[in-house]
Structure 1
Amino acid sequence: MVKLQYYCYYLILSSLLLGISPKPVSGQQLLLEYTATVDSTVALSYMVQNKEGKILGKLNADKQIPSASIIKIPLLFYLMEKVEKNELDLRETYELRKSDKVGGSGELQFIPDGNLITYAYLASEMIRISDNTATNILIRKVGLKPFQEWLITNGYKATQLNRFMMDFDAITKGHQNYTSAAEMNKLLLSLLNEKSLNKGSTLQVLEWMENCEDNSALPNLLPEGVAIAHKTGTLEYVRGDAGIIFGKQPIVVTVFIAHYSNLMNADSIIAEIARLAYLDFVE
């Protein structure tokens, strides 16, 4: 970031000394210049698009990457499609069992067995605090294989749900969940333009995503008061965030960082990409 600032100052100063007006730097160019300063050992992929789907910036956007908890976004879409078809009622309750509980993110693992929980609450917690127990219950409700078939039918090739949350045995056997920046943007654009769900379901999904409590990545450097609907994902080797940043011209942004040195460093890169994208394409 520091190198980029010095570079911009140098261009402006040189232009002034020569008595010419500096040419405006495009948002895409600023993103490319910033990402060029990122440590080469970091594997970075991102995509920025406007509401119409025009690509405003991208890098390795089609690369398939372990999805971490970002896979919970398409799962939520599939769940809401079931609701629209009257195949599932969000008011219906589920009786929590000991066998449901897994570690990692979430509070349901600490709730007493036998508690009745609505599917609406499970969906909300899956996004709000990335609750893994809630996610696994929902996967079993809609079916892992039917969900994977839904992804394929809708043209999602990189995005795959091949295991439950916290299933380390599956991971050791090579079963991983995947997605890409391009496919997450495709999904979010369909939400933004109300092409995947009806208006009521769209508003509900946006509300849940706006309540995501992990604001250390995409939202972190955005101006105060800027609305964003997003979902983060974290593994030891991957950090990602995908969302819709609202404003005069809403944009869809997905960023993945792999092989990062530490989580704070990964978050700072994601946040800076979101900040540049907002300043150049939304304001």
Structure 2
Amino acid sequence: MRIYPTMELQNGRCVTLDKGRLDEAMIWHVNPVDTARSWAADGAEWMHLTDFDAIEGRDTNSELVEEIIRTAELPVQLAGGMRTREQVEHWIDKGAGRIVIGTLAAWDPNLVKELAKLYPDQIVLAVDVWQGHVMTEGWRSQSAFTPDTFIEAFEGTPFAAILATDIDSDMEDIEAQLGLISGLAEKSRTPVIASGVVRTTDDISRLAYIHNIAGALVSRALFRKTIDLSDALEVARTAHEPVAEFQ
């Protein structure tokens, strides 16, 4: 299982949100570029980056995002505001390793299928679930899709992964979140990356044993320092190693 240290940007600063509330961001007083480099130095193979300003249609962070992609020394999985073909292709041209698409997939599924075929292993489908439906536009609008029908609509599409988030669960209700995400992973033929469920290294251990969970985003716990990235990477790496029988 792969750990994706996760950075969320708003007005050039690292932030974390509670259930996507953009007006209630918790600001972390760290340098985004230095932080990304430190993750590479700790051994991360990928990082995830969400641009909250892009979700609101602003390019405030575009130069910073470009700098992180260029200098982080690890591939970047980029999310936020990918509402057109041009935006997706722009960031692929800028060097993003993967592009996460949610809203556009609900608006124009055929276009997203085409993009996934043009850029195999570079497009990630975001499945953000609230009260049994997939949410779009930065978790503000409820689509007609249930998560199961949304995933089924893209059967056979060569996505790099599906990024699954249970918005509905309380932040402390790890059991409910794991239940929804593991259910989606079981029904999907595409590997699933879990979002919003890692608070401790024990959560990583539990995720590692769920079928078809290929990775997990880790954000707030890193900034709060309740998880050390090196420890998280080691737990993910060794979770499936065989244990010698006691003699």
TM-score (norm 2): 0.28
Of Structure 1 and Structure 2, the greater helix share is in 1
Structure with larger RCO (C-alpha < 8 A, sep 6+): 1
Q: Which has the larger radius of gyration?
A: 1
Of Structure 1 and Structure 2, the greater strand share is in 2
